[in-house]
Structures are given as structure tokens and as C-alpha cells.
């Protein structure tokens, strides 16, 4: 079992550009969540995808968008990059259960640097 895989591991972009980050969930998981972790801070929830739809969204601007594919993999897109978007972006996958939660497994993240 490969666990949660994210690509790329590192990325450098220029202000104003657009970026796409990718995540493949752990085998058997159907839910993908994205988090932004600024240096020295705890992760902040961006949004969650389930059944190819955005299920919940955190306090992030519309420049942050996502997508989930039929194979449960997911993409995070950020438009019009700002210096403040520099962070570690974490993907977590889990299995949706009625009335319960399953352990969220995290990938190793994508380190995005905006210059």
C-alpha cells in the first residue's frame, strides 16, 4: 500500500502565476482534504472533497480551487499566486463513515515557494 502520495515535493513559482498540486489517496479511501501549513504554524483546512464534490471549505479565497476525480485522486489549484501563499500543502485521505470517523492519513506534502 503506497499510502497518500503528493506531487511534486517542491515547487518554486513567481507571483501572479498559477499552480496545480496533486494527491493520490490511500487505497480504499474516498475522501480527500487539503491543508495549508505556513512555516512554524499548524495546518489550516482549505477544503475537502467527497464523491467529486467540495464538501466543506475553510476560510480561503476563491483563488484556491480543487477537483476530485472518479478514482478519488485530487488536485489543488491556486491562481494569482501571492508571496503569502508560500507554505507546505498537505493532503489527507480518509474513508467516509456514517456517524463516525476514520483515521486521516497524510502525504509528505508539497513545499510551495512563491518568489
Partner 1 sequence: AQTVTQSQPEMSVQEAETVTLSCTYDTSESNYYLFWYKQPPSRQMILVIRQEAYKQQNATENRFSVNFQKAAKSFSLKISDSQLGDTAMYFCAFMKIQGAQKLVFGQGTRLTINP
Q: Smallest distance from the beta carbon of 78 to partner 1, in angstroms?
A: 19
Task: State which residue, 18 or 27, has the beta carbon closest to partner 1.
Answer: 27
Q: Smallest distance from the beta carbon of 77 to partner 1, in angstroms?
A: 20
CA distance 1 to 93: 13
Q: How far is CA 30 from CA 9, 90, 97, 115, in A?
A: 23, 17, 10, 35
Q: Smallest distance from the beta carbon of 101 to partner 1, in angstroms?
A: 5
Task: State which residue, 14 or 97, has the beta carbon closest to partner 1.
Answer: 97
Strand partners, 23: 6, 74
Contacting positions for partner 1 (CB under 8 A): 31, 33, 35, 40-45, 48, 50, 55-56, 58, 88, 90, 92, 94, 96, 99-104, 106-109, 111
Asked whether 74 and 30 are in contact (CB, 8 A), the reply is no
Asked whether 81 and 69 are in contact (CB, 8 A), the reply is no
Amino acid at each position: 500500500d503506497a499510502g497518500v502520495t503528493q506531487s511534486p515535493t517542491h515547487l518554486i513559482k513567481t507571483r501572479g502565476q498559477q499552480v496545480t498540486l496533486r494527491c493520490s489517496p490511500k487505497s480504499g479511501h474516498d475522501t480527500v482534504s487539503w491543508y495549508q501549513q505556513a512555516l512554524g504554524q499548524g495546518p489550516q483546512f482549505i477544503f475537502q472533497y467527497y464523491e467529486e464534490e467540495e464538501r466543506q471549505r475553510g476560510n480561503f479565497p476563491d483563488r484556491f480551487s480543487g477537483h476530485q476525480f472518479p478514482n478519488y485522486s485530487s488536485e489543488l489549484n491556486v491562481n494569482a499566486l501571492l508571496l503569502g501563499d508560500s507554505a507546505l500543502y498537505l493532503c489527507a485521505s480518509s474513508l467516509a463513515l456514517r456517524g463516525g470517523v476514520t483515521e486521516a492519513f497524510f502525504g509528505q506534502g508539497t513545499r510551495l515557494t512563491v518568489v
